[in-house]
Amino acid sequence: MAKTSELEVAYKATTYRVYLSGGICDLRVGEPCETLRCWLETAGCKQFSIITAFNPGSQPTDEALNAERQAQLECDLLEGNYEPYAGQNVPDSEAWPVEESCFVPDLAPEDACALAGDYGQNAVISGGSDGVPHLVWVETSEQ
């Protein structure tokens, strides 16, 4: 699915909840999070990404298939020597379900996008050591 203003609005109207050692961070696109910034500094991380395998192409998908795909994504991350932390993408609208996600320290945006593309995703959330999450579109040959 090509990126649209409707999709961008939906991604920005979502809380990206991450479960880190030491606490929970609720992130919003473009909004700094001092707790995350401090966590990244303490962990010595220069960047992060949030990625999911749920609902590829922003199309609702069977719960069991979503869970299976998410488990495979987590395996792919571990095999790539990343340490994913559990997360949830919590939309403001009740019309869309909560999605499981992975918060991945030191996963570069371009690597996150490549992996997300393998799972049919439109975008990832990435940021640097400042703890500010950004929406990053996955570029495909269809767009």
What per-residue confidence (pLDDT) applies to 96?
87
pTM of the full predicted structure?
Answer: 0.93
The answer to whether residue 143 is domain-embedded is no
pLDDT at 9 over 90: yes
The answer to whether residue 17 is domain-embedded is yes
User: For 92, which DSSP code?
Assistant: S
Domains contained in the chain, number: 1
Place of tokens 């095999």: 79
Phi-psi region of 106 (alpha: psi -120 to 50; beta: other; left: phi over 0): left
Rounded Cα distance between 74 and 69, Å, is: 9
29 touches 134 (CB < 8 A): yes
Q: Can you give the residue range of the structural domain that contains 38?
A: 5-137
The pLDDT tens digits for 28-74 are: 999 999 999 999 999 999 999 999 999 999 999 999 999 999 999 99
Task: Share the mean pLDDT of the chain.
Answer: 94
The answer to whether residue 142 is domain-embedded is no
